[in-house]
Amino acid sequence: MKLSLEASPSNPPIPNYQFPSARLAVIVGTKGRGSNMLALVEAGRHGKMPASVELVYGSNPEAPALSAARETGVPVASFSDRETDFDALLIGLLRGYEIDLVCLAGYLRLLPPHVLHAYRNRVLNIHPALLPKFGGKGMFGHHVHEAVLAAGESESGCSVHYVTDAYDEGAVIHQLRCPVMPDDTPDSLAARVLALEHRAYPEAVGMVLAGLTSE
Ligand code: GRF
pLDDT for 8 equals 42
Q: Atom 14, ligand 1: which residue's CA is nearest?
A: 35
Q: Does any ligand 1 atom lie closer than 6 A to the CB of residue 58? A: no
Centroid of ligand 1 to alpha carbon of 153 (angstroms) = 21
Mean pLDDT, rounded, for 197-212: 93
Any ligand 1 atom below 6 A from CB of 126: yes
Which residue type, as a one-letter code, is found at position 157?
G
pLDDT of 76 above 60: yes
pLDDT exceeds cutoff 90 at 68:
yes
Which pLDDT value is given to residue 4? 33
Rg of the chain (C-alpha set): 17
Query: How confident is the model over 4-59, as pLDDT tens digits?
Result: 333 344 445 555 555 558 999 999 999 999 999 999 999 999 999 999 999 999 99
CA 35 – ligand 1 centroid, Å: 7
- Summarize pLDDT for 154-184 with one digit per residue, the tens: 999 999 999 999 999 999 999 999 999 999 9
How far apart CA 67 and CA 177 sit, in angstroms, is 30
What is the atom index within ligand 1 of the atom nearest the CA of 194?
Answer: 2
pLDDT surpassing 60 at residue 208: yes
What confidence tier does 215 reach under pLDDT thresholds 50, 70, 90? Answer: very low
Across the strands, what pairs with 22? 51
Q: What's 85-134 look like in SS3?
A: CHHHHHHHHHHHCCCCEEEEECCCCCCCHHHHHHCCCCEEEEECCCCCCC
**Does 135 sit in the ligand 1 pocket, CB within 6 Å?**
no
Please state, rounded to an integer, the average pLDDT across all residues of the chain. 91
Phi-psi region of 111 (alpha: psi -120 to 50; beta: other; left: phi over 0): beta
Q: What is the mean pLDDT of residues 130-147?
A: 96
- Is 32 near ligand 1, meaning CB less than 6 Å away? yes
Known catalytic membership, residue 145: no
**Model confidence over 188-202: pLDDT tens digits?**
999 999 999 999 999
- Of 207, 10, 39, 14, nearest to 1 by C-alpha is 14
Compute the distance between CA of residue 44 and CA of residue 54 in angstroms, rounded to an integer.
10
What pLDDT sits at residue 211? 85
Q: How far apart are CA 197 and CA 9, in angstroms?
A: 22
pLDDT at site 98: 96
CA of residue 202 to ligand 1 center, whole Å: 14
One-letter amino acid for residue 119 of the chain = Y
The DSSP H or E segment spanning 67 is helix 64-72
Please list, residue by residue across 176-197, b when 16 or more beta carbons sit within 10 angstroms of its beta carbon and e when fewer do. beeebeeebebeebbebbeebb
Contact status, residue 34 vs residue 72, Cβ threshold 8 Å: no
Q: Is the CB of 35 under 6 A from ligand 1?
A: yes
Instruction: For residue 35, give the H/E element and its range.
Output: helix 35-45
Task: Considering only residues 212 and 202, tell me which one the structure prediction assigns the higher pLDDT.
Answer: 202
pTM, whole model, 2 decimals? 0.90
Is the pLDDT reported for residue 82 higher than 70? Answer: yes
Residue 105 clears pLDDT 90, i.e. is over it:
yes
Helix, strand, or coil here: 199? helix
Residue 72 has pLDDT above 50, yes or no: yes
Sign of CA dihedral 76, 97, 172, 9: negative
Cβ–Cβ under 8 Å, residues 183 and 145: no
Mean pLDDT within 128-133: 98
Domains of the chain, start order: 18-214 (3.40.50.170)
| 206 pLDDT above the threshold of 50 | yes
Which residue out of 46, 114, 117, 127 is catalytically annotated? 127
